[in-house]
Structure 1
Amino acid sequence: MHATTTLAQVRARVALAAVVALAALWIGSAFVPAILWAGVVGIAVEPLRLRMLRRWPGHDMLIAGLITLAVVAIVVVPLVIAVTRALIEVEGITHWINDARAHGVPVAAWVANLPVGSTQVSAWWTNHLATPEGAAEQIARLDMGTIIEKSKSVGHNIVERAVVFAFTVLMLFFIVRDHDAISAQLSRAIDRAFGDAGIRIGRQINLSVRGTVDGVVLLGLAQGVVMAVIYAFAGVPHPILLGLLSGVGAMVPFGLIAVMLIALALLVIQGAIVTAMVVGVVGGVMSFVVDHTAKPALIGGATKLPFVWVLIGIIGGVETIGLLGLFVGPAVMAALVLIWREWVAGDAVGMASGTSAAISHLGQ
């Protein structure tokens, strides 16, 4: 014989559940970004998982492992290239500093090619860098203590992000392997808590994340490849590294422009001013077209999200929570727009007119 549950007991259970949930969130708060990242990647690779599952039915463990390894390779390989290149550059800078202290730094050839201020820059260089004493004095002005402290901070951040990345990879494996069970449980929980409106919002968020991955990551990588080719033809130093940075920068608002300005500065230093202008125009036009046509079409097309909301979601998300905001921001905006549309079209938040009318009928 089952005892009757009183209203006080229901409220107590809800309060207990809320306390337990908040305690769990507090304890695991350091891993929330990793879980969100794993969820974003899991949503993005779902079409690939289904395609592989049709080819190899019943091999969920193998498919999860292959997808996880592919994601790790996509992240780690470019990172290794960038770190290797950076270490080489650091070694070169160290040799340059030692040589400057011993022999001074002759006026660079590119100074004569500057369109403005060539005489002034040459005079300053001769007085402050051309002799060993002047170069040593300028180098001594660098705040080495601050540089060391910054290096320690960077090292700490690298270790912290490495731990988050490792946990993200672990979570991604289980999310991909148990995708069907997780989706079924989430759908059941959302349906019990919010009904059909919650299911529609969840579907909207899912579509938004997938569209953002296509519109931000894939287009960003494509832009990076194109810019690497342009840099190579233009004679920019380290075209592969700058192309990689351009691809990453293209995922962030105005990031590609910032990397491209570095490439243009390197061309100007070499005296290739006309080439720098051509690269700037081509890269700027490509960035403008992609940011104002292709990205909004891919991100907003799947969810019918207006361009202005896509832009607010991306920029606001990055400003608020960093790179993760690229995907979370548009998803939140997509859910907000859906709630607004249903509220305007119906009699209650999250209810279409027909649903609201049906509920009213049942209550009579």
Structure 2
Amino acid sequence: MSQFPHSSTPHAVSVRSRTRFQSWAQGVLALGVALLALFILGRFRSALFWGGVLAIVCWPLLTWLRRKWPSPRAVALAPAAIVAGIALVFIIPFGLLVSAAAGEAREGAQWVRQAAEQGIPAPAWLDRLPWGRAQVQHWWQANLATADSVHELMTRLKPERSLAMVEQLGHGAANGLVIMGFALLILFFFLRAGTPLVARIDRLVWRLLGARGVMVQHHVVGAVRGALAGLVLVGLGEGVLIGLSYVIAGAPQPLLLGMFTALACMIPMVGGIALALCVALILVKGATLAAAIGVGVFGAIVLFLADHFIRPALIGGSIKLPFMWVLLGILGGLESCGLSGLFIGPAVMAVAHLLWRLGSGRAAQAAPDGVVAIRVTHHARAD
């Protein structure tokens, strides 16, 4: 009996080490299978990503619908209603806008062809310039008034690159519609899974990362919802308001210019460049100088209010993320990951800011005495 504990100790240590090894092996296997599954998905990874983003954004709406509609049929009908609503609100109008924009693009191509054959006549507002009138008229006559000057300008601009870009955008739009269709299908199954799926995700996060993981999950969800509201919805709102000013000012192809402005306004600081280009096009097409100035001033006010007040509050307000972190996350994510980076960037920066606050807050481990002494000495010398 006295030798039983001694003889059982190696067996217990062996079982414990084998269990630890199995845990690591299972973790490696799970990670490998997950990476392999993502690799096999190919370009449909984008559909899975956008389906997940839409599920995060639409989850509060699904919760509200199920609370107002407690019928057992709501388990399938509520997700179907959300998916149908997204299709009606975004995809169908997007298709109509693309069709209308294609018509305006044909008109724009006809205008470009006419300008190449006959030149661009000087607009009437050139004669009413308060200063620099002679210099501007001379530049216009030398660069835009004749067919040869317009042809030379187009040669320098290399329109074949623009045409290739337009063709690439057309293929990208068709591929985007296919991906969005699959994303809506994935969204339906995510929402139909409902609370059990969310409970499984919460349980997995808790098992892997503990309480800190739950905090990270909360910040990621808040960043995704804030990014959608602050980037997409605010950008569309800016595009609609500025597009109305294009219509009032008599701009050429106002729908096409409005879509271009809305897409540019989804990215901070890029909307101003799009607005300047559209104002320059309005001037070239012969609109009045007052109308172009009015469009520019109105658009600048809309961009200033949206980019400095509404957008930071929507993106960083729910997770207390400073505007500089938001801006760097958006621009860096867009450059690194493309369009999906508009959501990945703020989410990553939200997690980074959370870890920074947890690591540098009062509850963190105190700094060593040597570090404190160096800081005190440094401040004393500075004083």
Structure 1 150/233 Cα, relative in aligned 2: closer, same or farther at 3 Å? closer
Per mean C-alpha deviation after superposition, the further-off stretch among 85-94 and 174-183 is 85-94
Who is 1:34 aligned against?
Answer: 47
Counterpart of 2:138, as a letter, is T
Residue number among 174, 177, 194 corresponding to 2:192 in the alignment: 177
Larger Rg: 2
Counterpart of 1:183, as a letter, is V
Answer yes or no: is 1:302 the counterpart of 2:321. Answer: no
Who is 2:19 aligned against?
Answer: 6
User: Structure 1, unaligned stretches of length 5 or more?
Assistant: 349-364
Per mean C-alpha deviation after superposition, the further-off stretch among 282-291 and 240-249 is 240-249
Answer yes or no: is 1:70 the counterpart of 2:99. Answer: no
Equivalences for residues 131-142 of structure 1 within 5 A: none
Who is 1:327 aligned against?
Answer: 343
SS of equivalent residue, structure 2 residue 333: helix
Residue number among 228, 237, 254 corresponding to 1:239 in the alignment: 254
Who is 1:85 aligned against?
Answer: 100
Contact 1:111 1:121 (8 Å CA) reproduced: no
Structure 1 148/244 Cα, relative in aligned 2: closer, same or farther at 3 Å? closer
Counterpart of 1:264, as a letter, is V
**Percentage identity across paired residues of the two chains:** 33
SS of equivalent residue, structure 2 residue 267: coil
Shift of 1:100: 7.0
Shift of 1:162: 2.9
Counterpart of 1:289, as a letter, is L
Q: What is the alpha-carbon distance in structure 2 between the residues aligned to residue 201 and residue 136 of structure 1? A: 57
Shift of 1:149: 5.1
Contact 1:212 1:327 (8 Å CA) reproduced: yes
Structure 1 206/127 Cα, relative in aligned 2: closer, same or farther at 3 Å? closer
Root-mean-square deviation over aligned CA pairs: 3.1
Who is 1:256 aligned against?
Answer: 271
CA displacement 1:80-110 (0-9 Å, x = unmatched): 2332233223433565577678xx4155242
Q: TM-score, normalised by structure 2?
A: 0.78
Answer yes or no: is 1:313 the counterpart of 2:329. Answer: yes
CA displacement 1:293-334 (0-9 Å, x = unmatched): 221112111111111111111111112112222222111111
Counterpart of 1:10, as a letter, is S
Counterpart of 1:225, as a letter, is V
SS of equivalent residue, structure 1 residue 117: helix
Q: What is the alpha-carbon distance in structure 2 between the residues aligned to residue 292 and residue 139 of structure 1? A: 38
Q: TM-score, normalised by structure 1?
A: 0.81
Counterpart of 1:56, as a letter, is W
Equivalences for residues 186-265 of structure 1 within 5 A: 186-265=201-280
Counterpart of 1:42, as a letter, is A
Shift of 1:8: 3.1
Contact 1:78 1:244 (8 Å CA) reproduced: no
Structure 1 126/226 Cα, relative in aligned 2: closer, same or farther at 3 Å? closer
Q: What is the alpha-carbon distance in structure 1 between the residues aligned to residue 249 and residue 255 of structure 2? A: 13
Q: What is the alpha-carbon distance in structure 2 between the residues aligned to residue 318 and residue 111 of structure 1? A: 42
